[in-house]
Amino acid sequence: MKTLRALLLFAMTALPALSLAQSFTPKSGTEWLSEEAREMQDDEFANPGYFTVDRGLELFNATGTNGKSCANCHGADGETLDIARLTRFPVFDPLTQKPMTLQGRIHACSQQHLGNAPMKYDSKQAIALETFVRNLARGEIIDVETDGPLAPFVQKGKAYFEARRGQMDMACSDCHVNYVGSRLRAQVLSQGQLNGYPTYRLANQRVNAIHQRFSQCENRLRATFQKAGADDYVNLELYLMSRGNGLPIETPAVRF
């Protein structure tokens, strides 16, 4: 890790012209996967993330405190959910005047429409529902808005992504912009895209939500990380999701 940082600092001083403004083409993390992992991802029967999709479907049909279920409004398999709208999250929420993530929408529906007590952000249940819902849009193209009222939040997310932090004094962008394609121990650095999330990780053998992945990366920088659902992470999700505009949704992807 120290070597990488030294390398980075060297590269940054040696190559001041290394431009971040070069034209950017989004690439899914799947591009850097081993063939075995890619095959696992593409096979619904081999991809362990589908257990979580199934669990999400069960919860979708389960009755809440007021006797209703998600399916009452959105169809038994979510078939009346508007798939195009699912590709646009996070969206601007006029009520809070802030961005709302897909999981945030699910929490809001659970409380307002089922009368349920609040679930924790990134609780197992919330992740399962999010995985199920996002899987409905698998293959659809991410289309997050970046102008209008969302613009200042996109900028905040970008600033967070580019700010150095932690004992390593590194920014997310150091690894996920400047060193894409380089090896870090056994892993190859990707662009840090979110199109496969929630994602099954072989490393911890469970489906990992977006904010969990953020804190895993911050943890390795020995930086203090945010709580799941915190404004900083919502803005970061907004920025990173919009940076993947044009990529297909691949939930649940498989990663190391």
| From 34-42, 104-112, 119-127, 143-151, span contacting ligand HEC (CB under 6 A) | 104-112
251 contacts ligand HEC (rule: CB under 6 A): no
Token pair belonging to 34: 């081993």
Closest approach, Cβ 20 to ligand HEC, in A, equals: 15
Q: What angle do CA 40, 214, 83 make, to 5 degrees?
A: 60
57 contacts ligand HEC (rule: CB under 6 A): no
Q: Binding mask 20-49 vs ligand HEC (x if CB under 6 A, - otherwise)?
A: ---------x--------------------
DSSP 185-239: TTEE------TT-SEEETTTTEEE-HHHHHHHHHHHTT-PPPPTT-HHHHHHHHH
- Which residue's Cβ lies closest to ligand HEC? 29
Instruction: Determine contact, residues 148/73, Cβ cutoff 8 Å.
Output: no
177 contacts ligand HEC (rule: CB under 6 A): no
- How many of the chain's residues bind ligand HEC (CB under 6 A)? 40
Q: Which of 101, 103, 190, 212 binds ligand HEC (CB under 6 A)?
A: 190
- State yes or no: is 73 an active-site residue: no
In 10 A of CB 204, how many CB atoms? 11
CA distance 38 to 33: 6
Q: Which of 27, 38, 54, 72 binds ligand HEC (CB under 6 A)?
A: 72
CA nearest neighbour of 238 among 115, 98, 80: 98
| From 17-25, 37-45, 110-118, 142-150, span contacting ligand HEC (CB under 6 A) | 110-118
Residue 154 backbone zone (phi > 0: left; psi -120 to 50: alpha; other: beta) = alpha
Closest approach, Cβ 82 to ligand HEC, in A, equals: 4
Q: Tell me the torsion sign for CA atoms 193, 195, 201, 202.
A: negative
Residues within the interface to ligand HEC (CB under 6 A): 29, 60, 68, 70, 72-74, 81-82, 85-86, 105-106, 109-110, 113-114, 129, 133, 170, 172, 174-176, 184, 187, 189-190, 192-194, 196, 199, 213-214, 217-218, 221, 236, 255
